[in-house]
Structure 1
């Protein structure tokens, strides 16, 4: 979203025009921004065989998935439904990787039948896989390399050794024993890059540790560094320079391949990096009130539609699209859920009145995909702007959607 001549636009369409046409609350995604981020992600890699797999859990709108297919990405999935959506929009099974977490083995069996790449993250399912398929079906293993990060939070901590994700390094001998016992074909090593690693140098040190692990496996075709890389959301916090990371990792991975004895593919699974800044949640200020010394801006949305601020304390830049240059005042922006429902506390915004359009930026990832019908409220419209045209890509919920699967019994 850009500000031109005091008017906020998404490509050539103004926020006001979008709100008038589709109503609020409204999620809108900008295809140009998605492509810009994808191009930037690829920019630093020149010599390696890079494969980008879009982590669609960030945003599973099928029109967005289809757009990314046309941009040449594969797909990272975490559920059978995501696999089915990927196949529906045209991804080939060979372009889809399935990386579930703590699932029943039956889901893995179904994914094998669908022909996608399997990524296993625990010893229990690894042994079951070996017993059933032996070496007939290649698989990837997801490791937890226990690499210390620069900073951690209590809820977001992927590389830490106490994380639930991946097979711990102290179990690597068991992995090797199972590989030998069942003659398994392990053709990939996967770890999850972390949003708490901010410098290419720290990342490269971790990558070198993964390369040492990879040397223990003789049949690899790829190494997958997963996703989780942050984007700049305007909060002033440090983010990793992905172009510089690409340049450094390009050299290190090429050297590793020479040592390994053949050229492998390098996989990444960006989700939020590709779609996060491409999405905006357009809302309307419906209530202005003062209470307890605080000035509140109440909008027609809530954490049922964008949970990240309440769940993670996530920062989303907020703009008043109706009065972008008004005098700044301090507001607490709140939603309409019947609980504490803050989008921002004590945020400086232009003077805001009822009826103003309030936009929460960087809402493309884990916005709609984590939305719910809490308080029996409807999930919003989704719109995708491609080549200057705004397309409705998901209707707003209605009452029939809300009660469709309920069965009213005579009690």
Structure 2
């Protein structure tokens, strides 16, 4: 965002206040140029190897976002049949979609496989079933748990020993026994360490574990290192040095391929890295409550629209786009849900007045996709700004949407 001559902030030259006047408040807004820039950044960092990007679409499943990803050459990683169907509606072929389940019914895996998706097998029982069902007629990847703890906090770490995700590398003998028993066609190994990983070292550590494990599988085509690159939340926040990471992992990957005897493809599955910075949640101040203990700013949104601060303790930078030059004061910014839904505590903001528009930054990932109708509230509209055009990509919900699937009306 930048300051306009009218002393309000603009998003890529578009006034967020006008956007809320046009499409209502609260409102999710996504900047397509930012998504394109993040994809290009990752491609540049790994330009020296055969690399493929798979967007972890649980971060944002809007069809327009998925179509944009497809347009710029990014494939999909999905975790449910619903996401798989959304991928197909966005124009993806089944073989461009990877299905990475977590303890799902095997019927879901069968549906994905028979639609052409490549499955990441995440448990020994699923591997056994896959072998019994398909033998060597269908390819799959195996999700390895490397037993490495890394990430922003324990809720977003997915590769440590206590994590539910993947098959522990310590069970390699059992994995190999099942693979041999059914002659399963293993074309790749996958792991995902977690999210918000800043330093290169955890990526290198799990890469080395995966490369060593890969030596036991002679027919691999893919090494999938997941995602988890750190994005910037606070102004000047430290982020993953993608240039450094790209150079270090690419060097290790090339050495591995040389030892393995042929060139493999390196996959990454970023979600938040690609879309987080593109998104803004615009809200309107409903009440400013001056209390002896705190000053409270109430807004027309809550954990039903953006649950991350309550679920993960995540930080979202907040701008007062209506009064950016006002005198700064400390506020608790809170929602309208009948729960404790605090977006920010003791946050210094330019003076906030009733009716002011606030912008929550870094809301492009796990915002709308984790939203709900709690308190029978409607979910907001979504707008995509791309190539100088703004487009409503999801209308605001209404009461009919809440009642459509209910019986006895």
- TM normalised by structure 1 equals 0.97
Q: Distance in 1 between matches of 2:55 and 2:17?
A: 31
| Residues 95-133 of structure 1: per-residue CA shift (max 9 Å, x gap) | 110001010100000001111111110011110010010
- Deviation of the 1:35 alpha carbon: 0.8
Written as runs of structure 1 = structure 2, the 5 A alignment for 1:101-140 is 101-140=102-141
Q: Distance in 2 between matches of 1:247 and 1:297?
A: 45
Which runs of 4 or more aligned residues in structure 1 lie more than 2 Å from their structure 2 counterparts after TM superposition? Answer: 1-7, 151-154, 193-198, 235-239
Written as runs of structure 1 = structure 2, the 5 A alignment for 1:75-94 is 75-94=76-95
Are the counterparts in 2 of residues 235 and 315 from structure 1 also a CA contact under 8 Å? no
Please name the residue that 1:383 is paired with: 383
Secondary structure (helix, strand or coil) at the match of 1:186 reads strand
Are the counterparts in 2 of residues 140 and 186 from structure 1 also a CA contact under 8 Å? yes
Q: Distance in 2 between matches of 1:399 and 1:196?
A: 37
Are the counterparts in 2 of residues 47 and 254 from structure 1 also a CA contact under 8 Å? no
- TM normalised by structure 2 equals 0.97
Q: Distance in 2 between matches of 1:73 and 1:153?
A: 28
Are the counterparts in 2 of residues 193 and 229 from structure 1 also a CA contact under 8 Å? no
Are the counterparts in 1 of residues 149 and 193 from structure 2 also a CA contact under 8 Å? no
Please name the residue that 1:198 is paired with: 198
- Deviation of the 1:7 alpha carbon: 3.0
Are the counterparts in 1 of residues 197 and 228 from structure 2 also a CA contact under 8 Å? no
Q: Is 1:287 matched up with 2:287? A: yes
Structure 2: unaligned runs, 5 residues or longer = none
Secondary structure (helix, strand or coil) at the match of 1:188 reads strand
- Deviation of the 1:205 alpha carbon: 2.8
- Deviation of the 1:255 alpha carbon: 1.1
- Deviation of the 1:339 alpha carbon: 1.2
Q: Distance in 2 between matches of 1:385 and 1:181?
A: 52
Aligned pairs, how many? 408
Secondary structure (helix, strand or coil) at the match of 2:277 reads coil
Secondary structure (helix, strand or coil) at the match of 2:132 reads helix
- Deviation of the 1:197 alpha carbon: 3.4
Are the counterparts in 1 of residues 152 and 195 from structure 2 also a CA contact under 8 Å? no
- Deviation of the 1:389 alpha carbon: 1.1
Q: Distance in 2 between matches of 1:153 and 1:266?
A: 26
- Deviation of the 1:156 alpha carbon: 2.2
Written as runs of structure 1 = structure 2, the 5 A alignment for 1:9-408 is 9-149=10-150, 153-195=153-195, 197-234=197-234, 238-408=238-408
